[in-house]
Structure 1
């Protein structure tokens, strides 16, 4: 059995900063839970890497998986890895598993692993900064292209979260005349630990949007839909609960949230939502709304369907891939369509909502057991 190394750099940085885990972070935590007994931790910065001893690694994994973050202890762990460097003896069958995009762009990182005969396996979550730069921060397209191209040239293996991501990656490799390393597609399971749903947060009917507020998530569009709902229904309009911190390039959305008087009593913003509170919001919602223009996966859809909560989502290929025909799908710019569907789902007795709930009964939620079965078989071919 090969020794595994888990790169925990992004997790240490974000959790030390007091940030709540995003979807990518939750994947990293799932990998720690799965492989911790046979793994050692690596921390990297700008391509320079350091490993922790087996005992230090177990301590780091405990800290990252704990419900309460010990920020000073996380900082000490990172410093310890920097001091250690990549010293020591390494099993020639060792494999590095890196589940975030951070650091993929530095050839010296791959070189340090190759020098010790450690095979480098990276997870590719999406190519959105390259394919849809208009939704991202300026300059991130060039940075992400460097990450992806470096991984295509130097990685020993890749893990993709969806066939849609693999197809986009393959297209980019052909365009850039680069090889596609050996890889595997493994769908992601719900990232949240199951929680009892708890009491209903508010009495009024409401819908939930879940995710960082950024342009591709289409919050601005949905807020205009909600303004029209308020104009038509007044106090009877359902509430919209926006869960996620404020991101980038979304000043128009922030203006709507902060200054639109029509939305002040109707839109609820939850920028720092615990897993327990998120479970309560989702469980009692009329539906999860997911009007994104582009995604690499769409974990909130899986999380909602796993809780038997209906989903109304953009009609994009990756959502069809991971959820089949279970949700209701709409064009992300079909204002009248979204308006009509939300009004229908908001009714106490909703034929449309009941029909989806019947479909949800047949939906099979992806599991981490299945994900890691695919990954383990792939890793065996490398080792």
Structure 2
């Protein structure tokens, strides 16, 4: 009889309308595809609805996986926004900055929309049987101990992925209430999960330190680096005649973007018309008022700094390959997928000297995230002369899932 895996697809289905994924979204899609493709496993997609697991219609889940893969990969020609960005970056007479519209308050909360959508596409889940497995990689089903505790009582093996401890260790970079919520999630995982996967040795150390500090049990924890999509695995660059740099990630406080934009203003004061461009690729997050003030009101940055979300993987890879370097000045990260993608493609990377970057992209140019003069020097040097990226052996999804299967006891 085939092993049965209950895969929590709730977060993935929540993202069905998104034009581009976050790093966690990418992981959810990769796991869904891996499990769905294995003929030796019976995958049952589930979702958390009102703190209870419900079964998702398999056909609906398969359709969502196909749609998201096609949309997020974007293997077609350049999109309208990509063409607009390239024109703005290569023009000898920069026009206005390209900025996504700042999101306003929706008349109906996303939480309510998701709840209604999942309720309509799900049905009661038959009682799980002993010997089945449950996998959640999107921080779902962790807000209440009831789900994991019930699965454990029924003899279901539970595997949880924790992506980072940032809301607990650095709550100043997160929304009010996120610390308490993530504390609850991490605690529930430690108390009830049979095993926990993390994305880096740094995240593992933070999780185990949290468990020790809270006097919680420590189930087996394994650090397995995340894989990359195929479009990011081929080395090669096509530098633009007019230099520009790229940052990829949600526009939020921990990304240190207000610092980066202050540097760009200083570069503009030094270099004038020779100032390189900068593209911030990512959605607006939280605690980003200082960044928005720079983007919308600084005359020195108009026409130089652009922001866009919704780029497909193919568009993003082309944009990154044309850059002088990818910049990653984050104050804290759990993994930093864009930094790893840049190294894999052979695109030079200038990144903050933090634990995760030292672990995963040690060959990059690493600078303290508060060293303004060091960053200015590195950015100006890369503008004057394209840096050379070091060789790099990128992590792959194949290697990731080989380790996952061994860790949770699935067939090879």
TM-score w.r.t. length of structure 1: 0.88
**1:63: how far off?**
4.4
Change in Cα spacing, 1:130 to 1:171, as seen in structure 2 (3 Å) is same
Partner of 1:327: 364
> 1:249 aligns to what SS in structure 2?
coil
Change in Cα spacing, 1:192 to 1:104, as seen in structure 2 (3 Å) is farther
1:366 aligns with 2:395: yes
| CA offsets 1:300-327 (integer angstroms, 9 cap, x no match) | 0111111110100011111111123x10
**What CA distance in whole angstroms lies between the structure 2 residues aligned with 1:64 and 1:7?**
16
**1:271: how far off?**
2.6
Gapped regions of structure 1 (runs ≥ 5): none
1:87 aligns with 2:126: yes
Partner of 1:9: 10
Q: Which moved more, 1:100-109 or 1:286-295?
A: 100-109
Q: Which moved more, 1:201-210 or 1:119-128?
A: 201-210
Decide whether the 8 Å contact of 2:19 with 2:311 is kept in 1: no
Decide whether the 8 Å contact of 1:197 with 1:283 is kept in 2: no
Decide whether the 8 Å contact of 2:231 with 2:317 is kept in 1: no
Report the aligned-residue RMSD: 2.6
1:299 aligns with 2:337: yes
Decide whether the 8 Å contact of 1:187 with 1:366 is kept in 2: yes
1:1-383 superposed matches below 5 A = 1-16=2-17, 18-37=18-37, 38=41, 39-52=43-56, 57-67=61-71, 78-79=118-119, 82=122, 84-87=123-126, 90-191=128-229, 193-194=231-232, 203-324=241-362, 326-347=363-384, 349-350=385-386, 353-354=387-388, 357=389, 359=390, 361=391, 363-380=392-409
Decide whether the 8 Å contact of 2:295 with 2:302 is kept in 1: yes
Change in Cα spacing, 1:200 to 1:140, as seen in structure 2 (3 Å) is same
Change in Cα spacing, 1:327 to 1:196, as seen in structure 2 (3 Å) is closer
Decide whether the 8 Å contact of 1:183 with 1:378 is kept in 2: no
TM-score w.r.t. length of structure 2: 0.82
Change in Cα spacing, 1:109 to 1:317, as seen in structure 2 (3 Å) is same
**What CA distance in whole angstroms lies between the structure 2 residues aligned with 1:68 and 1:302?**
18
**What CA distance in whole angstroms lies between the structure 2 residues aligned with 1:33 and 1:115?**
29
Gapped regions of structure 2 (runs ≥ 5): 74-113
Q: Which has the higher contact order (CA 8 A, sep 6+)?
A: 2
| CA offsets 1:94-126 (integer angstroms, 9 cap, x no match) | 111101113312112113423543222110000
Number of positions where the alignment pairs a residue of Structure 1 with one of Structure 2: 366
| CA offsets 1:133-171 (integer angstroms, 9 cap, x no match) | 000111110111010011111111110101100100010
